[in-house]
Amino acid sequence: MNKQKIIVMGVSGCGKSLIGSLLAEHLGLSFYDGDDFHPPENVEKMRQGTPLNDHDRREWLHTLNQLITSKPNAVVACSGLKPQYRELLRQGNEATLIYLKGDIDTIWKRHQQREGHYFNGRGMLESQFGDLIEPLTDEAVHIDIDQPVEDVLNDILKAMDDPLAHPTRS
């Protein structure tokens, strides 16, 4: 198997963990949720409803870069909101970037259905949208999340030229 590294990015609640884990399962790769690698002080800030800043994210992004570098085949879910974050994540790695794109109202509805997640409040989601600088189409595969999960996954597989992707439904 060729080395395959994939980063699934987008704001909190866009489906990075779910889609990333399903994609990893489909491709036979390991899955890593970037949220699991936040230092405790970041988690506490988010629990309190305080958005992270560039300084807060720096150590976390370095940790994820080391993870991606150390794994020959992996799918990693990470917000990757800014170009400099994505550059840091991909430094030394040839990784495919998948951008899960949705509007704030759709994603906020998803947040309200989550239980037990430390991301706290619409203000934090608005902050992520404020920080988000969408990747260019030549930097990432853009996938619309306002569709069933199976279709999101299928769109990713088609974009990656996976022979097991289902034909487009009419």
pLDDT tens per residue across span 59-72: 999 999 999 999 98
For tokens 């289902």, name the residue: 166
User: SS3 for 40?
Assistant: helix
pLDDT at 119: 61
Among the listed residues 130, 141, 137, 145, the one whose alpha carbon sits nearest the alpha carbon of residue 7 = 141
Predicted TM-score (pTM) of the model is 0.89
Q: What confidence tier does 111 reach under pLDDT thresholds 50, 70, 90?
A: confident
Give pLDDT, residue 168. 47
